[in-house]
Amino acid sequence: MSITEDQKREIEALAGGRSNVSSLRTSGSVVNVTVKDQGLVDQVAARSLEGAREVSLASGTLRIAFADNRKGNEMGKYHDFAADVLENVGGKENVNSVTHCITRLRFKLKDEKRADGEALKDLDGVIQIIQSGGQYQVVVGDKVDEVYDELVKGFGLAGAGEVPADDEPAERDGNLFNRLMDVISGSMGPLLMGLAAAGMIKGIVALCASLGWMATTDGAYQVLYAIGDGYFYFLPIILGYTAAKKFGLNEFTGIALGAALVYPTMVNIANPAVVSGAVVTPAALGTVFAGTPFAMSYYSTFFGLPIIMPAAGYTSSVIPIILAVWVASKLERWLKTVIPSILRNFLVPVICFAVMAPLTYLVIGPVAGIISSLLTLCFESLYNIPMIGAPLTGLVVGGLWSTLVMFGLHWAAVPVILNNMSTLGFDYVSTVVCIGGFVGVGQGIAVLLRTKSDKLRGVTVPALISQLCGIGEPFLYGVQIPSKFLFYQNIAFSAIGGLACGLLGIKIYMMGGMGFFVFPSYINPATGDMTDMIKIAAVVAVLMIAAFAFTFATYRDKNNPAVKDVA
């Protein structure tokens, strides 16, 4: 519900009059009034207000929560919490849009200075506040889905990359890096949980096949593998939808562009086919950039122009569809300004489809292919430096990963990881990302045995459970960072683990598994080889034991700035 001006005047009167009110702020159905003298507030009258369901007065603030009058009276469990978060990020009028990942609400604010970070940190349920990548991130843990739903459905915020109004994009940060991070997180964030689920299913099925519990010819294997692999195979279609929401393009146009990229005839354009009982391999009509790492052959033409396809096609790709949707959003916005409204509804998508599909295959796809090849070449060159390349890559990525997660910058690695898996069939950048979490488990068990703080135990137990499931932010922000020493210790052990992964040449073949479910991702699905899984399990086991022993020997409550309830 929205608070009327008459209600505001009535609330001011019972709060001791306008002269006693420093500020009056509303967030949906919640009113917060800061007063100069609490003794002048009439709480009895406040509780008698029509629709008032909760009234409190503390620290100079009168808080009145009114009954929500949404259809069906469906007020969520976290409605009040969402209202408090919204109020302290500056209110609805200060929010361009909000999206979320596994544990964070990611706000795009008009003015970050209007947000009250200290008040947010004091809210019961807020773990941490981070300002990074042009986003104001509020870490709330595993209740993030429900809080997000309340913000979008209960308070009417634009969510999940939606354009706030009039098909115009939200105000942009001039910083190129911030804009890039915003595009990546806005496009990849909404599909992350589906990606994780598909990766887990694919990994578990590969493990079952490797252990002989299931044959690859079994119907059960084929169905379950189709679920896991299908998500990655048709990723351009899913990204077409999320990127369209991010850029303000009609979502179905984005889906159509993604579908065109993975259409079977185009995917199989260079594959051998059986003709009259004989296997026929198509001959390439030509090759561009021949003799370079960017070489791409073409097997067909579009009115004489070569249709250039990367060797792996566009299935499982990320960069081509995001670029295509971005260009299409510009085209669609321009078409809406020049086409009469009576023709706009059907003519705009017709022109977008007719122009963008060929343009993507002829220009955007090849450009994206060059970018993808360049990324792969850079990381391969670093990784393959004799003697030091692989260990150095593991050391750097392993040591930096927790810091990247802390600032929400790990999103920048996601397209690189997916690109490596699409072009190489495996990845070496993400082999180390699970190590810090398992190091944290060892640290957390030691802290539980050593601490005398009931408060720290209360934070550590649920954070450890989340950590075991692969969600590390609660432990990171609730235990490691407040201690500082535990955070630095985790960085050191993770860097050592990354170094070991590089020396052992460990590769990961699937993306998505989290916590203990990550291990099947190290099985090569093509061969069933479990060597990399055994290697990473050994590295993790050694580091967990080492982290536990070191933390148990060194941790003291008196050295932890976050522990205040122990003398």
Q: What is the mean pLDDT of the chain?
A: 83
Are 363 and 437 found together in one domain? no
**Longest alpha-carbon distance in the chain:** 94
Q: Is residue 196 part of a domain?
A: no
Condensed to tens digits (0 to 9), the pLDDT of residues 424-436 reads 788 887 888 889 8
**7 against 506, higher pLDDT:** 506
Q: Is residue 447 part of a domain?
A: yes
Secondary structure (DSSP) of 185-242: HHHHGGGHHHHHHHHHHHHHHHHHHHTTSS-TTSHHHHHHHHHHHHHHHTHHHHHHHH
**179 against 276, higher pLDDT:** 179
Question: Beta strand 296-302 with 305-308: parallel, antiparallel or unpaired?
Answer: antiparallel
Mean pLDDT value of segment 306-314:
79
When pLDDT is cut at 50, 70 and 90, the band that residue 566 belongs to is low
Token digits of residue 240? 């077409």
* Residue % of the chain over a pLDDT of 70: 89
pLDDT of residue 350: 92
> Is residue 225 pLDDT above 90, yes or no?
no
Are 167 and 248 found together in one domain? no
Mean pLDDT value of segment 109-138:
84
Query: Which stretches of 339-388 are DSSP H helices?
Result: 341-359, 365-383
Calculate the dihedral angle through the C-alpha atoms of 407, 426, 324, 296, rounding to the nearest 10 degrees.
140
Are 231 and 194 in contact, with CB atoms under 8 Å apart? yes
Are 343 and 426 found together in one domain? no
Q: What secondary structure letter does DSSP report for 362?
A: I
Of 124, 144, 171, the residue at which a domain comes to its end is 171
Are 229 and 202 in contact, with CB atoms under 8 Å apart? yes
Of 352, 382, 412, the residue at which a domain comes to its end is 382
Mean pLDDT value of segment 111-121:
87
Q: CA distances (Å), 415 to each of 48, 208, 228, 239, in order?
A: 56, 28, 19, 12
Least confident of 71-80, 132-141, 475-484, 517-526: 71-80
pLDDT of residue 311: 67
Q: Is residue 118 part of a domain?
A: yes
CA proximity to 436, closest of 465, 392, 475:
475
When pLDDT is cut at 50, 70 and 90, the band that residue 95 belongs to is confident
What is residue 475's three-state secondary structure?
helix
Are 124 and 258 found together in one domain? no
Token digits of residue 144? 């993030």
**466 against 538, higher pLDDT:** 538
**419 against 68, higher pLDDT:** 419
- The order of strands in the sheet holding 305-308 is 286-288, 296-302, 305-308
For the beta carbon of residue 344, count every other beta carbon within 10 angstroms: 14
Residue type, 468: L
Token digits of residue 62? 């009168």
> Is residue 172 pLDDT above 80, yes or no?
no
Q: Can you give the three-state secondary structure of 138-163, one letter per residue?
A: EECHHHHHHHHHHHHHHCCCCECCCC
pLDDT of residue 68: 59
Are 512 and 420 found together in one domain? yes
For residue 151, report the phi and psi dihedrals to the nearest 5 degrees: -65, -40
Q: What secondary structure letter does DSSP report for 38?
A: G
Residue 23, by phi and psi: left (phi above 0), alpha (psi -120 to 50) or beta? beta
Q: Cα–Cα distance between 405 and 392 in angstroms, integer?
A: 20
Mean pLDDT value of segment 30-50:
83
What is residue 99's three-state secondary structure?
strand
Are 297 and 437 found together in one domain? no
Q: Is residue 220 part of a domain?
A: no
> Is residue 1 pLDDT above 60, yes or no?
no
> Is residue 41 pLDDT above 90, yes or no?
no
Token digits of residue 145? 């889905």
CA proximity to 140, closest of 76, 77, 81:
81
What domain range is 280 assigned to? 239-382
Are 150 and 262 found together in one domain? no
For the beta carbon of residue 130, count every other beta carbon within 10 angstroms: 19
When pLDDT is cut at 50, 70 and 90, the band that residue 72 belongs to is very low
Of 171, 191, 212, the residue at which a domain comes to its end is 171
When pLDDT is cut at 50, 70 and 90, the band that residue 391 belongs to is confident
pLDDT of residue 171: 46
Question: Beta strand 278-280 with 273-275: parallel, antiparallel or unpaired?
Answer: antiparallel
pLDDT of residue 409: 66
Q: Cα–Cα distance between 506 and 466 in angstroms, integer?
A: 26
pLDDT of residue 177: 63
**369 against 105, higher pLDDT:** 105
Are 186 and 101 in contact, with CB atoms under 8 Å apart? no
pLDDT of residue 140: 86
Kindly report the CATH number assigned to the domain that includes residue 34.
3.30.1360.60
Q: Is residue 133 part of a domain?
A: yes
Q: Is residue 36 part of a domain?
A: yes
Are 399 and 524 found together in one domain? yes
Are 140 and 147 in contact, with CB atoms under 8 Å apart? yes
> Is residue 535 pLDDT above 80, yes or no?
yes
Are 412 and 516 found together in one domain? yes
Q: How deeply is 146 buried, as exposed, middle or buried, from its count of CB atoms within 10 A (0-12, 13-18, 19+)?
A: middle
* Residue % of the chain over a pLDDT of 90: 21
pLDDT of residue 185: 72
> Is residue 77 pLDDT above 80, yes or no?
no
Least confident of 29-43, 346-360, 479-493, 516-530: 29-43
Tally the domains of the chain. Answer: 4
- To which residue do tokens 């579908």 refer? 259
- The order of strands in the sheet holding 104-109 is 95-100, 104-109, 135-139, 128-132
Mean pLDDT value of segment 536-557:
94
Are 431 and 448 found together in one domain? yes
Are 138 and 185 in contact, with CB atoms under 8 Å apart? no
Are 445 and 406 found together in one domain? yes
Q: Cα–Cα distance between 192 and 482 in angstroms, integer?
A: 28
Are 314 and 262 in contact, with CB atoms under 8 Å apart? yes
> Is residue 88 pLDDT above 70, yes or no?
yes
Mean pLDDT value of segment 291-297:
76
Mean pLDDT value of segment 176-191:
73
Are 333 and 399 found together in one domain? no
Q: Is residue 321 part of a domain?
A: yes
Least confident of 181-190, 203-212, 262-271, 344-353: 181-190
Q: Is residue 152 part of a domain?
A: yes
